[in-house]
Amino acid sequence: MADDRKPVKPADRKANRRGAARLAAVQALYQMDIAGAGLNDVLAEFESHWLGNEVEGETYLPAEAAFFRDVVSGVVRDQARLDPLIDEALSKGWPLKRIDAILRAVLRAGSYELEHRKDVPGRVVVSEYVDVAHAFVEKDETGMVNAVLDQIARQFRADEFVRS
């Protein structure tokens, strides 16, 4: 039987490792929100038990640990400033505190990355976090994630999101 798989290019490998880091970051932020876990405990747990390991029969992709750590710790550090921005972008009557915890984690991580990770194009950030949201919620809710992050991206990266 011939192997029809194409070799993974280094850029693809980096993108996959970052995608895995984003997914893990959202899960870590969710855990912190729900269980009240501390930053150092969550970082240590994810880095030693989740990133690139098998958990409950599922093998997790190797993640870019430094990227994971930057997003999680950056959200924690900047949360008091990020939450009002997200609240402003949400529909009136649906403040961030009423949004499911997993979506709060997605929106916080995406907002942090849009503001601080200029090495990643804004449209890629929005798309990646919409994909992460797809792993947890229905299509309607991923549309909300897309709309909110797009609005925030236009604040932090106006030059990348010029309206045509």
DSSP 149-163: HHHHHHHH-GGGS--
Check residue 7 and give its pLDDT.
38
Q: Which residues pair with 135 in a beta bridge?
A: none
> Which pLDDT score, from 0 to 100, does residue 11 have?
44
Name 75's Cβ contacts closer than 8 Å, sequence gap at least 6.
25, 29, 82, 108, 109, 112
Q: Which residue has the tokens 């609240």?
A: 87
Q: Which two tokens stand for residue 103?
A: 């979506």
Taking CA atoms, 10 is separated from 17, 27, 31, 116, in Å, by 10, 26, 31, 24
Counting as low any pLDDT under 70, the low residues of the chain are 1-15, 49-61, 93, 163-164
| Distance from C-alpha of 25 to C-alpha of 33, rounded to nearest angstrom | 12
- Please report the DSSP string for 50-67 in residue order: ITTSEETTEEPPP--HHH
pLDDT at 9: 40
Are the C-beta atoms of residues 20 and 62 closer than 8 Å to each other?
A: yes
Whole-model pTM? 0.83
What was the pLDDT predicted at 19?
86
Please report the beta strands in 96-152, taking only residues with DSSP state E, as ranges in sequence order.
Answer: none
Q: Please tell me the predicted confidence (pLDDT) of residue 140.
A: 80
